[in-house]
Every structure is written in structure tokens, then in C-alpha cells.
Chain A
């Protein structure tokens, strides 16, 4: 078995010897633990515990068992429970032990009670009298135990019984009692706030208690109170500020220091309280600027605990009324977090950044590189926090990169972000990914919102988007469809039904065939079938044969809705007049008053039908659940106004780009029965409104403006963005064949011409000479590449000459200088992952050794010396196909310590090899 058990076994004898005297009592427990460690299977353990529990059961029910034995039994019972076995028959004995035992038994009894029972457990009622008795005991230990159990588990209904006693303890001479009483009251406040309303004044006394422990405990209550109503406690700001000042000034006893930081827990509580008090309140905030500044300044030690305080401090600075100087300092602090190599600090830095970018999005720009690095972090927690941060800084410029990352990660892609979509194809493609991966996990509104986006555009503007969607969906449907989520199938069928006619080149028979195919699939749900049939109803014109076949095959379906739809489909395809009347192409008008039904209604009324009642009235009268009917109603094809009924949310296609009308229409449509309830309209309006806001953000001029405003204050957004994308692509795309064309062109301008594998760039015809430029790329570094080839040419028609040639190229031939500034170098350095370090020979023959060596390398290898600062030099180069490599050189005694970094794993090694060679040959 494992080494831990082995250790346990070897250590056992020693443990027994050392503890024999004092701990005789728990010998049975020791035996139990020992025998458990000797077991090899779960099954054996189960049997052993079963035996143990039945032994315990026997003992507890025996009248001869003494309290002392009971104490030992209880410890064993606790152990069994911890292992996950049920020992509930001992619960009552735990209470008894607390009730009847001496102090020692009480201690175990109370512990067992707090471990075994929940606040709501009925047995706790039996404990109330014991607690009352112990609270009045003259033995301090008993009072402490009673208060401890009260603060952990106590029935809510019984609070009034003990409250006066606990309250009295607030003025007890012993600080430990006062402290526990404060925490017990805090607990009462949490579970039954109204019970402790009247003793607020006493909390104030606890806050000014001379013992720091009691005072610190009272802050738990204050934090809670202030969170609930900050305005009632503004007058205490001064006191909190004074306390924090005293703590910072080291006025507390050294016992409260933690790793030589004075009372960090107390500091953090105070900072939280202050930030709540100063929020949106300039005059209160002004009271705390000084102490916050001091707090930021004091926390300079490099220990987790100071960072914990700093984090709280930064949050406070950004929560209260802003002061430029403090904000600046706090922002610098965040930098320390984010750039820290310690992963826990980095995490907290990201968290702080996520918090502060809501106030000032610019701050994220400073840490772009780290953020991008963290996105690809191997730790899920870091990744997730980074995405949270990115979500908060999404704008029109960076949306592509960010959503891509989110998709990779797939926690969720809020449609809201997609309203920034840069172009149609990207949008549709991304939505395809979202639907097919996220699928049925998506919120129900998402597909509807997407369809609304598609439908609400003006015909001439958004036809492009629709066309692209149609094309893309046809491609999807031609592939494997069985794995696609239902909501995606529904979206596709709706779009095809509505917009397939836009695409001239599409064969309608093909569309019908694809949709019909879907109907045959077993995995397609009946709801989706309804969507598909609706789509089919809209498509055909003259394809009657296919439709009739389909209607025929469905007419025997077991699903009544499908059967009805098939029937309607058949009628419509046979009666072209009816069809024209029903399916007006691009029909946008909605007769929301349903006036065309007037005749029918009056006829029915005359014939004695009951008058119509809206669903909510019906529901009230019947109190039956009409859910299934009301659900299929908007989707199924009733014989009138078909175009409006295709999608539950798309009744108002006529609303143009205006956001207002979109909102209006949806408020009317989205389940009228939900909006109008017993209690009227307003309270539920809020519940349905938010999903509407999201999609309409794209079309609402107001929100667009808001987005623009958010972007504007940023310095040169476009260059920043380019920068980022360039980096993102160099990080994530790597060495791509796709980009070879532009790179090749660059090679040509570099004056580098080579033959063989490559691209024809240019053929210059001058008299009898052709100049052909070819480019050779190196995708992966190799020490040497030998190339052979032939040139064939014709001097006379039909007379071909062939010239063979060969040569050898090394990595060095593919290295080019990378011209960057020191700043860019710094950013890039942080973003690169593969590094290699080695000491090289330093050329000491002439002048400044570092400069000489770097110049020698530069001459031999086409490197770019970015900067030389003192004994350090930074050099940059890149492989022809794009991967950069950064070199950091430092004079280290008689050697040159070189540190190379590159996104390409092998490149640093090759460059190092060539540097070594170059210096050796010098």
C-alpha cells in the first residue's frame, strides 16, 4: 500500500509509548485507527466499521456505561462519521453527554453536537436547557463551550431564550467571553436579523472594547450591517479610520502580528468597511484618503499577507470616490501582482484587474502581454479569470480574438459580445461554432436572439448576411448532421425556409432534399420537425411532387402536430391561390388585431360559442396547466398568417433598424401570458426585458454610442489593437503556410533570391532574358539544408537545355534582423515561452568586450542589436518565415551569459549553435 500507511505503521509503536499515560482513555480509538490502516480494501473497512458501530451501540445502551466511557465512545463515533458511516444513533447520547457530564464530558459532547447536528436538527431543542444552564455557570470554560456551540449550531426559534444571557456576556470581565458573545450575536444576526435589532447600541460598545480581539470580532457584525445600509453608519467612518491608523502605526500588542504585519485580518475587515462607506460618497471618501495612502505605502514587504492587504486596499481605492493620486498608486500595485512569477499573486492580480477595468478600461492595456500569456496558461483557474477579464474589456476592435479564445474555452459566449462582430462571415461562422458546440446548453433566448438579428436588418443591407448564412448552412447540412444540437437544426431550418430564395444559384430541390433528410433522422426531436416542416412550407414553388411525397409519408405519423402540418402542407402545395394568399413573399405586415378573424368569430358567437378569454384569465379560472398547448401554438402552422408564426419571437419583421420598435414588439410578443399576471404588468416586465436588451444592443444607436465612448479615451486604439493581434497571431498561429505569400514578397525585397521549393514571384522579360525570382522558406530550423535542382530552358523551340545545380544552406542563411525598439522587445520577451540559456565565449581582444562580441555576432549572423545597457545587451532576430527570437546577453565574468527566447521551440538552439560557431571562428 501507499507510503503514508507504511509510515503510519512504523510510527505507531512510538506514538503509543509516548502517550500511554495521559491518553489511556482513547486507546480504543487508537486501536480502531490502527486496524483501519492495516486494511487493504474498502470492503474490509466497511465490515470493520460495522462491527465497531454495533459495539458502540451496545455500549451506549448499556446502563453500566460511565460518562467517562461515553466520552471515549463519542470520539470513536465521531471518527466513524468522518469516515462517512452513519452513527446517528449516537446523536442523542452526544446531547446527553453535554447535559449530564462534567466539564470534560461536556467538551466532547458539545464538539460532537456541533459536528453531528445542523441548525435545523430537531434534537437541538434538547440542548437549549443545557446551554442556558452553562451560560449561567460560574465556570468560565463551561460558559465558553456554551457560547461556542451557540455560535455554531443553534435553532433559530430558540434564539430569544438565550439572547438575554448572551447579551449580558458582552460586559463580562473576561475578553474571551466577550469575544465569543459578539460572534454568537453575529451568528444570530445572520440567521434572524430582527431578533437582534434592539442591541445595536451594544455592538457599538464592542467596537470600542479595549481588547483588540473583541473589537475585531465586532467588525464582522459591522461589515454586515454596513453592507445592508451604508448610510446609517457614515458617522462611524472616523472611528474606523482611527482604528486602521492605530493598527498601521503598530499600536496593537505584538501577539496580533502575523509574519510581522500588524493584525492583517483586522486591516482587511476595516478596508472592506471603509470601501463600503466611501462608495459614491465624496465627503466620506475624503476622510479615508490619507489612511488608504498610508496603507498602500506600508504594505511593502514581500509576503502573501501584505499582498492580501494590498489587494483589499486597491479594491477600496477603486470603489470609493476617486482620487487621481491614489488611483495611480493602486494601478502600480496591480502591476506588481500581475507581473509576479508567483501564480497565486498573478491570479489575484487578474482578479483585481477584472475589478478595476470596470472603472477604467485603459488599465488592461498596460498588461496586454501578461493577459495574453495567461490566456494560454495551463492552469484552468488562471485561464478562466483571464476570460472574465477579457469579457469586461470586449470592444469592436478586439472582439474576434476574444471570442475565439472564449470559444476555445467554451464557458459561454454571450451574444452581446457578438454584436461587435467585424464582418458577416465571421459572425455566421462563429455562431455556427457556438450552436454546434454549445448547442442545447445555450440559453433558450440565444437562438431566438440570433434569428431576430438576422431578420430585423433592412433587406438591402443585411441580405449579405442572410445569404452567407444560407450558404453556410447548406454546407453544414451536407455533412454529418446527426450530432448537431436541436437548436442549431431549428435555426438552420428557419433560415433556409425564410431566405433560401435569396440565393439564385441554390437549387430548391436540393434544399428540400436536405431538409427532408433531416426529418428522417431518428435523433431529430418532434419540436425540430415542426420547425423543419414550417421551413418546407415556405420553400417550394413548383416542386409539388417532392412535397406531396413528403406530406404522404407524414400523414401516417403518430405525432398529431406533424400530421396536421403535413396535411396543411399538402393543401397549400395543391392550391396555389390559397398559397399565395397565405404566403405573401417578404410579407412584413402583421395584423396584430387579428381583424381577419372577425367574421369567423362573430359566426361562432352567433352559433353559441363562448366568448374568447385571454390565457391568464383562463388560467385563473381553470388553474390547469396549459403549458403543452401554449408551447406548440406559436410554432405550429395555423392556416392563417403563416409567415408571422414561424418563429416564436419573430412576429414583427417589419420593425426596421430601430431598437425601440424591436423592444416594443418583443414586449408584446414574448409570451403575453407571462407578462400579464395576477399582479399586473409591471413587476414581470422587468423579468422579460433583459433578454431583449442584449440583442437589440446591436441596433440601438444609444448603446453603439456608448461603446464608442468607451473606446475613445484609449490611446491609438487601432495601433494597440494591431499590436495585440500581431502578437496574438505570432503566439497562436505560429508558422503558417497561409501567410507565406506575403512573407515571400518580403524576402524578395530583402534581395534574397533562391531557387527550388517556393513561389514564383516575378518574371521580368527583357529581350532574350527572363529573370525568375523564387523564394525558399524554412519552416523548421535545420542545421543544414542541401538543395539540388535543375533549370530547364529553351534556346530554340523544341530544344530544351537543362542545367543542374546544388548548394547547401544553413539556418544562418535564414536569419534576418528583427528591428524593434527596446520597449517592444520587452513586451515581446514576456510573451515568449521557449527559452534556452548558455554561457558563450566573450571576445576580449579589443575595447568593450560586450560591444565587440555583439558586433561580431551581428556581422556573422544578421542580428539586430537593439540596445546595450551597461553590461547587458539585447539582440533580436527572426527566421525568414516569421518566428522571432530574442537574445539577452550579459557579461558574466569572462563569459557571455546568453538567454534566448522564441515562440518556436527549436529556434533558440539553432541560433545558439550558430552564435557559438561564429564566436569560435572569430
Chain B
């Protein structure tokens, strides 16, 4: 996979992950172009399109578009299912996810993505294992959170 973009129906980028080294200007140009093309597609059209020498695979979930760019010889259907699995993961983690969850917790969405896809390849396809890894890291966060904030309050007051 070359990159993944999440954007709203208005074309606002919600998440971007690049698995190929590109400059910022290139990234901006590409995402603008891809968002424009995908938004122009009608709902009944197929979820794949050729773009430059890549295949864009996209799917809309409520107000949010999930869009991946894969190499031409890649299997488009399986990419579509990768998107779906990612949505399932988000859904399980946030509990029926909506666009707002992703906007306000975008870093969490990135953590989940990094556990699922690493370096452009599916790393772990078991839902349970991905979420276990995330939960472990989150748990650490909460443990660290409580004593620190107490200390800080003491320090402050």
C-alpha cells in the first residue's frame, strides 16, 4: 500500500498515512487530487479507479471516505476488505465510531492503524490481537495519568 487517506464529504482530510517517502508538497498535491476525484464519483460506481500508475480503492462509511492507493497488480477486493477491517477495528475501539471520534481522537486512530498495517503491509489481521496491543498501551497511559496528575496538583497548590 502506498498511502491511506480519510476525508470527509466536504473534502476535509481527517487522517493521512504515507507508506512511501514523498515531499510535503507532493503529499498535498496528491491528496488534493485524489480527494477531488473520489468525491466526484457517483454512489453506484465501483470502488476502484485507476490513478496515475496506481489503483485507488475507496469506500464511504457515513460521512467519511476511506481511501487507499495500492500498486496496480494488487487485489482491489482485498484492499477494500482491509479498509473494512480498519473500520471494524475503529468501531470496536470507539464503540460505534463516527467521524467526530476520529476528528477528536485522531492520534488514537493512528495508533490503531499502526498496529494493523505496518510499513504498508497488513501486520496483524486478528481483530483481537490488534485491540489487545492498543489496550495494553492505553492502560499504561491511565496508570501513568493518575499519579502524575496528583503529583502535579500537589506541586501546583
**A positions within 8 Å CB-CB of B:** 2, 4, 7-8, 11, 15, 19, 22, 24, 26, 29-30, 33, 68, 75, 78-79, 82-84, 86, 102-104, 107-108, 111, 114-115, 118-120, 140-141, 144, 148, 151-153, 176, 179-180, 183-184, 186-187, 213, 216-217, 220, 253, 255-256, 258, 263-266, 268, 304-305, 307-308, 311-312, 343-348, 351, 378-382, 384
Query: CB distance A179 to B81 under 8 Å?
Result: no
Q: Closest approach, in angstroms, between the C-beta of B7 and any C-beta of chain A? A: 10
From B16, B21, B63, B123, contact of A183 by CB (8 A): B123
Query: CB distance A115 to B13 under 8 Å?
Result: no
Q: Closest approach, in angstroms, between the C-beta of A389 and any C-beta of chain B? A: 14
Beyond the given pairs A111-B107, A307-B77, A379-B46, 20 more chain A to chain B contacts, judged by CB atoms under 8 angstroms and listed by A's residue number, are: A2-B10, A11-B100, A15-B104, A68-B148, A84-B28, A86-B24, A102-B144, A108-B107, A115-B17, A118-B23, A148-B114, A213-B123, A213-B124, A263-B125, A265-B78, A308-B78, A312-B75, A312-B78, A380-B49, A381-B45
Could you list some 24 contacts between A and B, CB below 8 A?
A8-B100, A68-B148, A107-B111, A111-B107, A111-B111, A118-B23, A152-B118, A152-B119, A186-B119, A213-B126, A217-B121, A220-B121, A256-B126, A258-B125, A265-B78, A265-B122, A304-B81, A308-B81, A312-B78, A344-B46, A344-B48, A347-B76, A348-B75, A381-B50
A11 to B81, CA, bound (A): 30
Query: CB distance B46 to A347 under 8 Å?
Result: yes
Query: CB distance A15 to B80 under 8 Å?
Result: no
Query: CB distance A343 to B44 under 8 Å?
Result: yes
Confirm or deny: B103 has a beta carbon within 8 angstroms of a beta carbon on chain A.
Answer: yes
Chain B residue nearest to A379 in the complex (CB): B45
Confirm or deny: B2 has a beta carbon within 8 angstroms of a beta carbon on chain A.
Answer: no
> Looking at A75, A102, A213, A346, which has the most chain B CB atoms within 10 Å of its CB?
A213
A255 to B45, CA, bound (A): 33
A152 to B81, CA, bound (A): 22
Q: A119-B21, A304-B80 are in contact. Are A183 and B107 (CB under 8 A)?
A: no
Q: Closest approach, in angstroms, between the C-beta of B17 and any C-beta of chain A? A: 8
Query: CB distance B121 to A186 under 8 Å?
Result: yes
Query: CB distance B133 to A176 under 8 Å?
Result: yes
Produce 1/0 per residue, B52-73, CB < 8 A to A.
0000000000010000000000
Chain B residue nearest to A145 in the complex (CB): B137
Query: CB distance A183 to B119 under 8 Å?
Result: yes
Chain B residue nearest to A214 in the complex (CB): B124
A217 to B126, CA, bound (A): 12
Chain B residue nearest to A348 in the complex (CB): B77
Chain B residue nearest to A5 in the complex (CB): B10
From B85, B99, B106, contact of A82 by CB (8 A): B106
Provide the residues of chain A in CB contact with B44, threshold 8 Å. 343
Query: CB distance A4 to B63 under 8 Å?
Result: yes
From B77, B82, B129, B144, contact of A176 by CB (8 A): B129
Q: Closest approach, in angstroms, between the C-beta of A707 and any C-beta of chain B? A: 28
User: Interface size (B, Cβ < 8 Å)?
Assistant: 62
- Residues of B14-32 whose CB lies within 8 A of A: 14-17, 19, 21-24, 28
Q: Closest approach, in angstroms, between the C-beta of A386 and any C-beta of chain B? A: 12
Q: A148-B114, A152-B119 are in contact. Are A256 and B21 (CB under 8 A)?
A: no
Query: CB distance A305 to B81 under 8 Å?
Result: yes
Q: Which 5 A-B pairs have the closest CB atoms?
A: A308-B77, A255-B126, A343-B46, A118-B21, A308-B78
A184 to B118, CA, bound (A): 9
A83 to B17, CA, bound (A): 13
Q: A344-B48, A379-B45 are in contact. Are A179 and B123 (CB under 8 A)?
A: yes
Determine the main DSSP class of A at the interface with B: helix
Provide the residues of chain A in CB contact with B145, threshold 8 Å. 22, 104
Chain B residue nearest to A347 in the complex (CB): B46
Provide the residues of chain B in CB contact with A29, threshold 8 Å. 104
> Looking at A33, A140, A255, which has the most chain B CB atoms within 10 Å of its CB?
A255
> Looking at B8, B77, B111, which has the most chain A CB atoms within 10 Å of its CB?
B77
A107 to B133, CA, bound (A): 13
From B77, B111, B133, contact of A311 by CB (8 A): B77
A152 to B123, CA, bound (A): 12
Query: CB distance B78 to A82 under 8 Å?
Result: no
Query: CB distance A344 to B22 under 8 Å?
Result: no
Q: Closest approach, in angstroms, between the C-beta of A303 and any C-beta of chain B? A: 9
Provide the residues of chain B in CB contact with A268, threshold 8 Å. 75, 78
Provide the residues of chain A in CB contact with B121, threshold 8 Å. 183, 186, 217, 220
A442 to B93, CA, bound (A): 53
Provide the residues of chain B in CB contact with A115, threshold 8 Å. 17, 110
Query: CB distance B46 to A83 under 8 Å?
Result: no
Chain A residue nearest to B37 in the complex (CB): A380
Provide the residues of chain A in CB contact with B45, threshold 8 Å. 343, 378-379, 381
Chain A residue nearest to B136 in the complex (CB): A141
Confirm or deny: B140 has a beta carbon within 8 angstroms of a beta carbon on chain A.
Answer: yes
Chain B residue nearest to A268 in the complex (CB): B78
Provide the residues of chain A in CB contact with B21, threshold 8 Å. 118-120, 153
A217 to B48, CA, bound (A): 26
From A83, A102, A344, contact of B77 by CB (8 A): A344
Query: CB distance A103 to B119 under 8 Å?
Result: no
Q: A115-B110, A382-B46 are in contact. Are A82 and B76 (CB under 8 A)?
A: no
A2 to B123, CA, bound (A): 37
Confirm or deny: B9 has a beta carbon within 8 angstroms of a beta carbon on chain A.
Answer: yes
Query: CB distance A255 to B127 under 8 Å?
Result: yes
Chain A residue nearest to B115 in the complex (CB): A148
Provide the residues of chain A in CB contact with B140, threshold 8 Å. 103-104, 141
Provide the residues of chain B in CB contact with A86, threshold 8 Å. 24
Provide the residues of chain B in CB contact with A213, threshold 8 Å. 123-126, 129
Q: A82-B16, A344-B46 are in contact. Are A151 and B107 (CB under 8 A)?
A: no
A176 to B17, CA, bound (A): 22
Q: A111-B110, A308-B75, A346-B46 are in contact. Are A4 and B81 (CB under 8 A)?
A: no
Provide the residues of chain A in CB contact with B110, threshold 8 Å. 111, 115
Chain A residue nearest to B41 in the complex (CB): A379
Q: A11-B100, A347-B76 are in contact. Are A255 and B47 (CB under 8 A)?
A: no
Provide the residues of chain B in CB contact with A120, threshold 8 Å. 21
